[in-house]
Structures are given as C-alpha cells and as structure tokens.
Amino acid sequence: MRNLMVRIQYDGSGFCGWQVQNGLRTVQSVFQTVLRDVLKENVPVIGCSRTDSGVHANDFCVSFRTENMIPCEKLPLALNAKLPPDIAAFECVQVPEDFHARYSCKGKQYRYLILNTPLRDPFLYARALWYKYPLDAGFMNAQAQDYLGTHNFSAFCAANTDVVDKVRTVTQCGVRRLPDDGRILEFTVTADGFLYNMVRIMVGTLLQMSAGRLEAGSIPSVIATGNREKAGFTADACGLYLNKVLY
C-alpha cells in the first residue's frame, strides 16, 4: 500500500467547489471517478482545501492510498488522458504513511485577480473580478500590510461558519499591478490557514477603502471589533485562486 500525493490545477468556473455534493459537478467527484478508473480501485481521495463554487486552483494537493504500482511519473499522464479539460494533474509523489493532504498542510497562499479597466474582457470572464473604477495599487498595498500578523479574523469570516477558533497568522500580503498586463491587479496573501470567505472579504474591504466607503488605515480597528458587518463586502469567487500549498 502506497500513500501518494497528486498535484492538480483546475478552472473552478464549471464546478460547485471541491467537495462531493449529491447531484452536483464538483472537482472531487470528477477527479475521484477518473482516479478509480485509472487505478481500478475504489480510492477515496483527501483534498488540501474545500474551495468554493467558482474558485480556481493553480496548485491543489490530493492524497490517497493505493495498492496499484503505477510509477509516479506515469500517473499524471494516465489521469490527464481521462480528466476533462478544466482539470489537469501535473505531479505525483509518494509521501510518508502519515501524510494527509489537509492536516499536514502548514499554510496556503491565495491569489486574487482584479481586471481594472472601464471595458470588460470576455477572455477574463469568470477568471478575474471586473472593477471599472480606477484603483491605486500602491494605496491598496499599503493598506493590506495591516493584515499581517496573528489576529482573530472574525470580522473577515462568513457569519454562518461553525468554526470556533478564528485566529490566523498572515505572513505575507500585498497588492501589485501586473507588469505584463497593467490592467490587472493581483492581491496575494499567505497564512497558516484561512476562514470561510476570508480572502474574498479582505479584497472587498480593500476595494471599499479605495472607493472611500471605509476609512484608510481602518483595518486594525475592523479586526479589533470582530464584527463581520464592519468589514467590506465579499468579493466574487471568480477572481480567487489557491496558488500554493505549503507542507
């Protein structure tokens, strides 16, 4: 019995998130079905995260145990021959027996893309948030630094979550205008963990600060309140990418 980890990428616009849901197309259900077909085994898979409907992944890790002895270098090729075009496997490695894609994770990095132009781009539909009003990347980056550190992020979590411990440590955070396409702003954030809708609320808060609806420099006071109503709106899922998984 081997414990394997496969790294995949997917365009989340055609999925109702990662986790299996009856009657709905999810990344887990599609991947698991294909994996069983390739390995000829009933193989339950463990995902590193529970991405929501419409959220994408540049690097998503899946672990599972199998008795099949297919070489690791050949498994991504076999999977990609059967996976739909909006999912692709790009690496497989054998991992220690106690490795768990979710619980062994030490942190994650998310990326959020904003198309900042007066005109829509149909080729970025469902892959970036279209925001037509001018944005100052330098201003947004300066404000985003207030997310750094260990805080109770209750104000940046969906109100209906059942998670009790809402303390997270953000180790990297920033906003820049991409040099190869000046129309696109990129928000990146790295932490030891994330709450439900946390990144999308972080982005919505920065956008509302840019629009003058929230006071500049107010992120520390919003965090201190622990009140979801004090933070910004929840930005659309289309611009969000799980970018890196840290083990």
Number of domains in the chain: 2
In-domain check, residue 64: yes
In a domain, 99, yes or no: no
Angle formed at CA 204 by CA 202 and CA 205, multiple of 5 degrees = 65
Structure confidence at residue 162 (pLDDT): 85
Is 165 a catalytic site residue? no
State the residue range of the domain holding 35.
Answer: 2-94
Last residue of one domain, picked from the residues 94, 115, 132:
94
End-to-end Cα, the chain, rounded Å: 22
Q: Which of 11, 37, 52, 236 is catalytic?
A: 52
Identify the H or E element spanning 190: strand 184-191
- Name the domain boundary from 38, 64, 94: 94
Q: Over its length of 247 residues, how does the chain's per-residue pLDDT go in tens digits? A: 999 999 999 999 999 999 999 999 999 999 999 999 999 999 999 999 989 999 999 999 999 999 999 999 999 999 999 999 999 999 999 999 999 999 999 999 999 999 999 999 999 999 999 999 999 999 999 999 999 999 999 999 998 888 999 999 999 999 999 999 999 999 999 999 999 999 999 999 999 999 999 999 999 999 999 999 999 999 999 999 999 999 9
Same structural domain, 13 and 80: yes
Enumerate helices (H) and strands (E) in the chain, giving the number of each: 5, 10
Q: Considering the domain boundaries, does residue 153 fall inside one?
A: yes
Output the domain CATH number for residue 123: 3.30.70.660
| Residue 95: CA count within 13 A, CB half-sphere | 20
DSSP letter for each residue of 55-121: -EEEEEEEEEEE-----TTTHHHHHHTTS-TTEEEEEEEE--TT--TTTT--EEEEEEEEE-SSS--
3-state secondary structure of 155: helix
- Nearest CA-CA partner of 195 in 155, 241, 146, 145: 155
198 within domain boundaries? yes
Residue 31 sits in the same domain as residue 77: yes
Q: Give the predicted TM-score (pTM) of the model.
A: 0.95
Residue 54 sits in a domain whose CATH number is 3.30.70.580
Which pLDDT score is estimated for 159?
86
DSSP letter assigned to residue 126: T
Residue that is last in its domain, among 46, 61, 94: 94
pLDDT at 161: 86
